[in-house]
């Protein structure tokens, strides 16, 4: 079994900045940087409950054919601050993760699990409040026989994930930010957040003016007006 070095946790300052940003904002922060699909995992990978959110450092696992032995190894090798990222090749005949292994991952301190495959025990996962993302639900139990690998580079949800990358998920899905470009991407995402705050205020002002019968301000953003002029 290939077990590679555990990645260094991302600095607390980076994690705190990321917690103020959504996966959508981070994806916007990667536009034009040549990062595959702006770091967005396949749309089919979603939380088992919409309220679930996760932010942390990627701890990677590679397995296949519904075999969760490598996931067990990763569970007892990780800890606080990490998000377990499982490259399960999208296998849909068996569940990779259920309530027991998720409970163990939560107990050792994992922030959550993202699985390119299927999981089970949804009610238990929701009750424990532990973020789990997957392609869907499958009641069939996993195999336990092949070694797989831990903390090597993987492809999860259609995008490359390296140990130590930033992982952020909410009800929209999961975005992965390459570690070596985190500062640049966070800066871009924070600028987009400031723009969205400004636009939200402009929309509210327009709605209020319309409600009270006042003069309506320009609602379209400047970039739309500029493109119309071209």
Encode pLDDT of 108-167 as tens digits: 999 999 999 999 999 999 999 999 999 999 999 998 887 789 999 999 999 999 999 999
- Of the three residues 141, 163, 180, the one that is the final residue of a domain is 180
pLDDT at 145: 83
Same domain, 200 and 130: no
Same domain, 71 and 125: yes
Same domain, 140 and 208: no
Across the chain, mean pLDDT equals 96
Same domain, 129 and 203: no
pLDDT at 146: 78
Q: Count structural domains, the chain.
A: 2
What CATH number has the domain bearing residue 73?
Answer: 3.50.30.40
pLDDT band per the 50, 70, 90 thresholds, residue 1:
low
What sections of 76-181 are H helices per DSSP?
99-108, 122-128
pLDDT at 169: 98
Encode pLDDT of 14-25 as tens digits: 999 999 999 999
Same domain, 89 and 74: yes
Same domain, 162 and 195: no
Distance CA 84, CA 6 (A): 12
pLDDT band per the 50, 70, 90 thresholds, residue 212:
very high
Same domain, 163 and 190: no
Same domain, 217 and 150: no
Same domain, 67 and 87: yes
Same domain, 197 and 168: no
- SS3 labels along 168-229: EEECCEEEEECHHHHHHHHHHHHHHHHHHHHHHHHHHHHHHHHHHCCCCCCCCCHHHHHHHH
Domain with 137, as residue range(s), is 2-180
Same domain, 174 and 220: no
Distance CA 36, CA 30 (A): 9
Q: Across residues 43-53, what is the average pLDDT?
A: 97
- Of the three residues 162, 180, 198, the one that is the final residue of a domain is 180
Encode pLDDT of 186-209 as tens digits: 999 999 999 999 999 999 999 999
Same domain, 190 and 168: no
More confident residue, 223 or 56: 56
Distance CA 41, CA 154 (A): 13
């Amino acid at each position: 079994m290939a077990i590679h070095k555990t990645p260094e946790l991302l600095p607390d300052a980076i994690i705190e900045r990321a917690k103020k940003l959504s996966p959508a904002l981070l994806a916007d922060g990667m536009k034009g940087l040549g990062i595959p699909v702006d770091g967005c995992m396949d749309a089919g990978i979603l939380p088992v409950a919409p309220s679930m959110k996760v932010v942390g450092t990627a701890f990677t696992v590679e397995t296949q054919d519904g075999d969760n032995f490598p996931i067990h190894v990763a569970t007892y090798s990780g800890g606080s601050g990490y998000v377990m990222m499982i490259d399960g090749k999208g296998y849909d005949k068996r569940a990779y993760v259920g309530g027991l292994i998720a409970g163990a991952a939560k107990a050792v301190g994992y922030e959550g699990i993202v699985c390119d495959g299927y999981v089970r025990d949804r009610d238990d996962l929701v009750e424990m409040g532990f973020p789990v993302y997957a392609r869907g639900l499958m009641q069939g139990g996993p195999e336990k026989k092949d070694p797989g690998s831990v903390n090597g580079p993987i492809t999860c949800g259609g995008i490359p994930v390296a140990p130590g990358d930033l992982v952020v998920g909410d009800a929209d899905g999961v975005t992965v930010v390459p570690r070596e470009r985190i500062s640049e991407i966070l800066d871009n995402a924070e600028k987009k957040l400031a723009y969205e705050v400004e636009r939200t205020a402009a929309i509210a002002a327009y709605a209020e003016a319309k409600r009270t019968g006042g003069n309506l301000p320009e609602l379209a953003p400047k970039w739309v007006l500029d493109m119309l002029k071209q």
